[in-house]
Structure 1
Amino acid sequence: MPSVAASGAVKYICKVKLDCTTRLHSNSWLTTTKYSIGDMYRQLSEQHAKTNWFHFVWNRFTIIPKHRVILWLALQDRLKTKARLFPYGVTDNDLCALCGLHTENSSHLFFSCHYNTECCRKVLHWLGFSTHRTSLFMILKWAHRYCVGGFRRKVCYADVAGVVYQICKARNSAIWDAMVPSLDSSVSCIQFAVRHRIKSILGKKVSARDRD
């Protein structure tokens, strides 16, 4: 333990030493002859299960950064929904900004809300897909399992990423501009983004073949 007259840096070092000893339930790490920062980090860090959604987000068809980030946050339930903000007094209520009927949380937005469900259904139908799943992760998992061919599967990923982004954009518009975009306009924006991305990917492939 540090003395009363010890500096702040010494006190902090002693605190870290005590924390490490407490978490490891032993002070043997202080006397070991072969100290490894990596081993110490692994012992102190919490073991988390491997993510099973990374290929839904980090693939080249969903290269649009804003789509990737929003999808990544949605899959981790980290979006700043009204259900999260209302207890802190940031919003007047916790009702969905799009339907105004249910609490706005991630499970409601993706996809229990009627507006969002219909938007996703229309976009999937445009690509020739159809599923009864009503959760974001289950839709992506369905695409991974049942969409035949890697190309169609990745297009579906990009499609769903576009839907998630557009839903968040529509929700923000409802809150800040007091205006909910029509379903047709939201679907058109998603279709444009997906078409543009596919053309970009295919154009790069053609250019690569021409160079070869």
Structure 2
Amino acid sequence: MAIRGGLKTADCLIFRGILVSNTCALCHHFEENVSHIFFECDYSFAIVSSLMRNLGFLLLRPNILQLFEYIDESHTNDKDMYFLLVCSAVYHIWRGRNERKFGGNAVSSTSLAIKIKTAVLSKIRMWKKGGILSEML
């Protein structure tokens, strides 16, 4: 849904005539849209950077499609793990965004990154190469 524009971000709601604040619920600095939330936002970029430490060389912050393209082109043996990391990050960041916006519960990017890493580790331990991949995290 994040890739296809199916998430009800502020820009989508405003386009439909629903009056909401257009400020990002995660960083409170920029307009909220899918590209910003995943991963142009300082908050979400800090999360994905801590999960994928080799992103430091990027000059610009990637959006979700650019991040998937980067993984597809540069990772051969561990693509599945990185795709799982990104998908888990999208899921948890969206939930965190909703908890902030509607529940008033704000979690730090560090805490959310640890939660994502734990979820991914529990999943990849069941894979054949799980032991090797879990050492990478």
Common fold, TM-score beyond 0.5?
yes
Decide which of 128, 137, 141 is 2:69's aligned counterpart. Answer: 141
Q: CA deviation at 1:148?
A: 2.9
Specify whether residues 153 and 190 from structure 1 end up closer, same or farther in structure 2 by C-alpha distance, changes over 3 A only: same
Aligned to 1:122: 50
Deviation at 1:124, TM superposition (A): 0.7
Q: Structure 1: how far apart are the matches of 2:73 and 2:129?
A: 27
From 91, 96, 107, the equivalent of 1:165 is 91
Identity percentage of aligned residues: 24
Rg larger for: 1
Call closer, same or farther: CA 1:76–1:200 in 2, change over 3 Å. same
Say whether residues 1:179 and 2:108 are aligned partners: no
- Which consecutive unaligned segments of at least 5 residues does structure 1 have? 1-72, 205-212
SS at match of 2:128: helix
1:89 aligns with 2:15: no
Unmatched segments (≥5 aa) in structure 2: 131-137
Q: TM-score, normalised by structure 2?
A: 0.83
SS at match of 2:2: helix
Alignment of 1:23-38 (within 5 A): none
Query: How far 1:203 moved relative to its partner?
Result: 8.9
Partner Cα distance (1:89, 1:136) in 2: 25
Moved over 6 A (4+): none
Alpha-carbon shift at residue 169 of structure 1 (Å): 1.0
Aligned length in residues: 126
Amino acid at match of 1:116: S
AA matched with 1:138: Q
The residue type paired with residue 13 of structure 2 is L
Superposition RMSD in Å: 1.9
* Shift in alpha-carbon separation, 1:153–1:174, aligned structure 2, 3 A: same
Instruction: Give the counterpart of 1:98 among 1, 26, 48.
Output: 26
CA distance in 2, matches of 1:167, 1:195: 17
Counterpart of 2:117 in structure 1: which amino acid? Q
Instruction: Quote how far apart the aligned CAs of 1:202 are.
Output: 2.9
Alignment TM-score, normalising by the size of structure 1: 0.55
Distance 2:120 2:40 in 1: 23
Q: Letter of the aligned partner of 1:165 in structure 2?
A: Y
